Structures are given as C-alpha cells and as structure tokens.
Amino acid sequence: MTEHTPDPATTYATVRLSPKADARAIRHGFPWVYSDELVLDRRTKALTPGTFAVLEDAERRPMAIVTVNPASRIAARVMDQNIEAVIDTAWLAAKLTRALAHRTRLYDQPFYRLVHAEADGLPGVVIDRFGDTAVIQPNAAWSERMVENLADALAEVTGVTTIIKNGEGRARSLEGLPEEMAVLRGTAPTAPIAVPMNGATYMADVMGGQKTGLFYDQRPNHAFAASLSRGVKVLDVFSHVGGFALAALAGGAASALAVDGSENALTLASAGAAAMGVEDRFATRKGDAFATLEALAAEGETFDIVICDPPAFAPNKNALEAGLRAYERIARLAAPLVAEGGYLVLCSCSHAADLTKFRNASARGIGRAGRRGQIINTGYAGPDHPLLPHLAESGYLKSVFFRL
C-alpha cells in the first residue's frame, strides 16, 4: 500500500488583502496575490509555505481558499473560490477528472499536457502524460507538500502506472523549493518513450531530458509547418528532440537538418527519425545556434523553410530588452538562409515579450538582413495548454510564420 500524506485540516488560517490590493480582480478570476498586496504581519510570515488559508478582503470579507507562501513574490494563489472547499485528494481528483475530459476530446491517444497549472485550476502544477507514464512538475509549495495526494489522484483518475516527479527548474527556485527527481509510482523508464504526434515519432526522455522530456505546446505549429513542407528542404534550429524537423519529414519534406546544442537531444531526434523510417532524409548538427546560423550562411546554404524555436530569451520583465535584441538577432541571422519565396518561422516562449513586441523584433531582424516578409500565420500553444484569460503568463507561446 502507498503511504498517504495526510490531507490538510479543514480549518484554515486567515490572511488578508491590503487596502491597496484590487479585490475585484481576485473575485473576477485573477489567481495570484503578490507579496505587496497581502498583509504580511508576523502571523502570516510564520505560515509554512504551502499552507492553505481563507483570503479576506481589506474589510475582512472572505473571498477564497488560497495557498500561501510568504517567501515568494506570489504570496498567495487562489485554490478555490468556495470558502467551504476542502483541499484533499478528492478535490484533486475532481480537478484532474475535468482536465482529462478535455484532453480525451482532443486526442485519440494518451499523449498530451494533462494539467496546465492555473488554467486547469491547479496553481503551479504541470502534468504531461506519455501513455501509461505521467510526469508531475510541482512548482508551487502546496503541490510539493501534497505531491503524494496528487499522485494518488492521478493514478485513480487516469490509470497511469508510472508517475515521475520532476522537481527541477527556475519556477521551483522562486518558491524556495529544492531540485529533485523522484519516482512516485511504478518504476523509472529505462528507455525513451516513443510519442506519436502529427504523424511523427518523438523520443521523450522523461528522466533526463529537458523539462518533462517533450514539449507538447508546439503541436499545432508543427502541423502547420508540416503542411508547407512537402518536397522541400527544412532547417530546424533549437530543434530539441526534432520538434519541427520530424513533423516536416512526416509532412513529406525532402530533407531536414536539426540544429541543437545538446548532443543528447539530437541523439533522441535521430532515434525518432529512425523509428519513422526517414533517417535517410534527416541530419543533425550540434552547435551554438547563433554561430551555426552564421556558419551556414558562410557555406552558402539556403533552405525552403527555416524554423527557430529558442528557449525563453525574456523569462521576466527585467530581461525583456535583452531578450528582444536576441530575437531580433536570430531573425537577422536566419533570414538570409531562406530561399526566395520560402518561409521563416520564429517562435518565442517568453511571456514577458508579448506578441506585438516579439513580432516587431522579428520584423526588425528580417529588415536588417535586407529581406521583406509577409505574415501568413500566427500560432499559439495547443488546446491542451489552455490560457487563463485573467493571467497573461498562461499564454506564453507565439509562433509567427513569415513568407520572405
């Protein structure tokens, strides 16, 4: 039998908004209370990170059940606007059941993002599913405390037999949580998991790969790029495990070159190409993306489609200007590699750089390269990554398709 973490008590502490906080935003669905909006008196500061509490407005009227982390800039996250709610395993199972119902309508195979944090009503929690295996990222203090309950609910609702806890990444450090990997249920996979998506096969390393092992968010943008790819030559920069490149090959591309700085990622990409039977049309090149773009230009290479899907250059507002310059530089270096009438696909997963800023930086880079382009499509994360309308951060991904 699994040892259960005790469910939280049904009597909660109380925390209060400061008079300057916008209580209406919380009532209308905004899920966060920042540290300068909460009364952080001695009692509140003494609360253990991840504690549940009743949030009151400045007039002491109850508003919601929240989870509190006095050490975080996000001092409270809304769990439930019903102040009678009990946050226990049954409550978690209800949230997971609702999330699962949406994904099973979308996809006929169990490969998707099952939980997208606040947008699915589980603040700070990401769960990606890989068939009978699921990877949980408990990025908020409450979910770290209740990770066993979460695993119980996940197994009950989905039937997955292996559950991995991926406790790594910047989000956890902001919550004051340690980095660790753990197998919560079942046994750790000894080989990458083959993931079918858009007719391609991707190899997900759920124990040693980046994030949960695969990025599901680009699925619709992979599909659109694939629709342009029949019979043409494709370059996929920041390719990870072959994201756009393998989708393009599934769409009939004549060839695809994947560029990434990680040898392990490119090995997984090659394994995916082999599983698809397209290894004869697939090549990899390890190296720094900026340097490789410059080298390809010096070699006189051109491609019908060039895709650049970098990591977040602007992960926060302080990094925004430097990030926009990096996006502009990527566009400037990539544009000369696009054949006349070909396509340049530029992506950003930086929530601090909104679509307008990112698009403008990309257009500047294209212009500085002496090219002109028309935008033919703008893509976002797939529908298994729902966007909470009150929270801009939940809509982080942008993919802009230019025809040059």
**What pLDDT score was predicted for residue 315?**
87
Within 10 angstroms of residue 368's Cβ, the number of other Cβ atoms is 14
pLDDT, tens digit, 9 for 90 and up, residues 109-143: 999 999 999 999 999 999 999 999 999 999 999 99
Task: Report, as residue numbers or ranges, the catalytic residues.
Answer: 349
pLDDT band at 210 (very low <50, low <70, confident <90, very high): confident
Query: What is the rounded CA–CA span in Å between residue 401 and residue 289?
Result: 19
Which residues have C-beta within 8 Å of that of residue 273, sequence separation ≥ 6?
242, 246, 249, 279, 281, 282
pLDDT, tens digit, 9 for 90 and up, residues 214-256: 999 999 999 999 999 999 999 999 999 999 999 999 999 999 9
As a CATH number, domain 193-403 is: 3.40.50.150
pLDDT, tens digit, 9 for 90 and up, residues 286-325: 999 999 999 999 999 999 999 999 999 998 889 999 999 9
Instruction: List, edge to edge, every strand of the sheet that includes 398-403.
Output: 282-286, 255-260, 233-237, 303-308, 338-348, 398-403, 374-379
CA angle at 75 for the pair 70 and 81, rounded to the nearest 5°: 125
Strand partners, 233: 255
**What pLDDT score was predicted for residue 255?**
98
In a 3-state reduction of DSSP, which class is residue 240?
coil
Mean pLDDT of the chain: 95
Within 10 angstroms of residue 367's Cβ, the number of other Cβ atoms is 15
pLDDT, tens digit, 9 for 90 and up, residues 134-177: 999 999 999 999 999 999 999 999 999 999 999 988 889 889 99
Query: What is the rounded CA–CA span in Å between residue 306 and residue 336?
Result: 10
Where along the chain do the CATH 3.30.750.80 domains lie? 89-185
Judged against a pLDDT cut of 60, whether residue 8 lies above it is answered with no
Query: What is the rounded CA–CA span in Å between residue 40 and residue 290?
Result: 46
Judged against a pLDDT cut of 90, whether residue 208 lies above it is answered with no
How many residues appear in the chain?
404
Fold of 13-80: 2.30.130
**What pLDDT score was predicted for residue 4?**
42
pLDDT, tens digit, 9 for 90 and up, residues 92-112: 999 999 999 999 999 999 999
Where along the chain do the CATH 2.30.130.10 domains lie? 13-80
Question: The CATH number of 89-185 is which of 2.40.110.10, 1.10.20.10, 3.30.750.80, 3.40.50.300?
Answer: 3.30.750.80
**What average pLDDT does this structure show over 43-49?**
95
Place of tokens 């039998």: 1
